[in-house]
Amino acid sequence: MVSADSAKTKPVFSPAPGTMPTACIALADGSVFYGRGFGAEGVAVAELCFNTAMTGYQEIMTDPSYAGQVVTFTFPHIGNTGINAEDDESNDPVAAGMVVKWDPTTPSNWRAAETLSAWLARRGRIGLGGVDTRRLTRAIRRQGAPHCAIQHAADGQFDVAALQERARAWSGLVGLDLAKDVTCAQSYRWDEMRWAWPNGYPRRTGAGHKVVALDYGAKRNILRCLASAGCDVTVLPATATADEVLAHNPVGVFLSNGPGDPEATGAYAVPMIRDIMARTALPIFGICLGHQMLALALGGRTLKMNHGHHGANHPVKDIETGKVEITSMNHGFAVDGQSLPDGVIETHVSLFDGSNCGIRMQDRPVFSVQYHPEASPGPMDSTYLFDRFVAAMAATA
């Protein structure tokens, strides 16, 4: 790492003789890393995190939970499988940019329809290659997820001082409601199920359990898992009221994943959840931000983590069964397990740091988890949670 004073003369990445860096990332503490740009040119300011997943970079970049973040990938082989339209978790990349160790290579996968660089350029997202991602990751772990400014400039011209100042001036994710930015504009029905060989995504037919899914930044594969479990899914915007939810006569309510500070989103989501619980006994299932919304509605608190959990290899223990699941995670805020009131049981904890990863109400079919049972990318150890939700609806219908 280099200091602000030496940033212009001592880059962390030294290009090959006769070439120059075409991208850089400046942290709020003054550190600067240089590399080679790919994708779109321009500048982006965001929080910097790292993700340890070995697969699924396309799903990660299009996960709405990454709004307001630049993702450093610790796995070096990013771009090898290319891009295809089927693996998007939303309409466009949501992460502000990506940082990788090695430049993306030519795709070598039968499903590839486009290169990573071309896809990022077409979608207006910045990529940085040739960066010492191990060193950068250690900086993130040491100081917490820092604010950063990234730039891709083909001419190699950077105003480093200006980038550092933009990183320092950025307000950060605390207090920021990003769910409103990534939610759907209007309600819609969802019937696409999980991918299956050889025909891709089948459509659900016939009757199903009527579920209203609140979209705080819902990943498509979560909705597919609900449909595959037998749910007739209607998706509503994040700001939907309890009256709007109940107008669809659901037998279950789902609270989706999403970005930003849960307390900020909770300003409108928590009253809605409390209203539904006060007026009905409907089963409720939440994932990620939805888990945090439920915890806040039940009287718990949330807190900002040092560098969060981002990866597809996170061990979580089910306290009630003793079972350990390997899970996919993506969150920078967490529920404070010590804040849960009587009647709310902590069901899961992270085996990395002991943080809360799941809750349930003692006397009602209301539960949630911090991690991502739908995977995409990640293991499938926890897909049973969708069946648990369906069983709760069947028992209360």
Residue pLDDT, tens place only, 304-352 = 999 999 999 999 999 999 999 999 999 999 999 999 999 999 999 999 9
Residue 10 lies in a domain: no
| 3-state secondary structure at position 151 | strand
User: Could you identify the residue written with the tokens 């990620």?
Assistant: 288
Give the closest residue to 137 by CA, choosing from 46, 75, 69, 67.
Answer: 75
Residue after which a domain boundary falls, among 128, 149, 169: 169
At residue 4, the pLDDT reads 39
Give the closest residue to 214 by CA, choosing from 222, 225, 203, 206.
Answer: 222
N-term to C-term CA, the chain: 59
Tokens of 34: 């240089």
CB 25 within 8 A of CB 131: yes
Q: Greatest CA span in the chain, whole angstroms? A: 70
Please list the active-site residues: 288, 372, 374
Residue after which a domain boundary falls, among 100, 135, 169: 169
Residue 341 lies in a domain: yes
Please tell me whether residues 162 and 183 are part of one structural domain.
no
Q: How many domains does the chain have?
A: 2
At residue 20, the pLDDT reads 85
Give the closest residue to 257 by CA, choosing from 382, 90, 372.
Answer: 372
Strand order in the sheet with 252-255: 188-190, 231-237, 209-215, 252-255, 284-287, 366-369, 356-361, 344-350, 302-318, 324-335
Contact residues for 284 (Cβ-Cβ < 8 A; gap 6+) = 252, 253, 254, 255, 273, 276, 277, 294, 365, 366, 367, 368
- Cα separation, 396 vs 363, in Å, equals 13
Please tell me whether residues 189 and 115 are part of one structural domain.
no
Please tell me whether residues 268 and 350 are part of one structural domain.
yes
Please tell me whether residues 187 and 92 are part of one structural domain.
no
At residue 120, the pLDDT reads 98
At residue 3, the pLDDT reads 40
pLDDT score of 14 more than 70: no
Please tell me whether residues 282 and 314 are part of one structural domain.
yes
CATH number at residue 50: 3.50.30.20
Residue 14 lies in a domain: no
Helix, strand, coil percentages for the chain (3-state, nearest 5): 25, 30, 45
pLDDT score of 198 more than 90: no
What's the rounded mean pLDDT across residues 276-287?
98
Residue 117 lies in a domain: yes
pLDDT tens digit string along 70-114? 999 999 999 999 999 999 999 999 999 999 999 998 999 999 999
Domain extent for 362: 179-396
Q: What is the DSSP string of 185-219?
A: SS-EEE-B---BTTTB--B--S--EEEEEEESS--
Please tell me whether residues 218 and 349 are part of one structural domain.
yes
Please tell me whether residues 165 and 70 are part of one structural domain.
yes
Residue 2 lies in a domain: no
User: Could you identify the residue written with the tokens 């759907």?
Assistant: 184
CATH number at residue 316: 3.40.50.880
| 3-state secondary structure at position 10 | coil
Please tell me whether residues 346 and 213 are part of one structural domain.
yes
pLDDT score of 280 more than 50: yes
Residue 3 lies in a domain: no
Please tell me whether residues 211 and 300 are part of one structural domain.
yes
- Cα separation, 24 vs 160, in Å, equals 8
Residue type, 207: A
pTM above 0.75, yes or no: yes
Please tell me whether residues 216 and 357 are part of one structural domain.
yes
Please tell me whether residues 213 and 136 are part of one structural domain.
no
At residue 301, the pLDDT reads 98
At residue 397, the pLDDT reads 76
At residue 17, the pLDDT reads 55
pLDDT tens digit string along 132-181? 999 999 999 999 999 999 999 999 999 999 999 999 999 999 999 999 99
Average pLDDT, the chain: 94
**At CA 373, angle to CA 367 and CA 375, rounded to 5?**
160
Residue 174 lies in a domain: no
At residue 18, the pLDDT reads 57
Residue after which a domain boundary falls, among 169, 187, 214: 169
pLDDT tens digit string along 200-249? 999 999 999 999 999 999 999 999 999 999 999 999 999 999 999 999 99
User: Could you identify the residue written with the tokens 């992460």?
Assistant: 95
pLDDT tens digit string along 361-376? 999 999 999 999 999 9
Please tell me whether residues 32 and 165 are part of one structural domain.
yes
DSSP bridge pairs for 73:
51
How many CB atoms are located within 10 Å of the residue 324 CB?
Answer: 12
HSE-CB of 55 using CA atoms within 13 angstroms: 10
Give percent of the chain above pLDDT 90. Answer: 93
- Cα separation, 120 vs 92, in Å, equals 10
Residue 17 lies in a domain: no
Q: How far is CA 111 from the centre of its chain?
A: 24
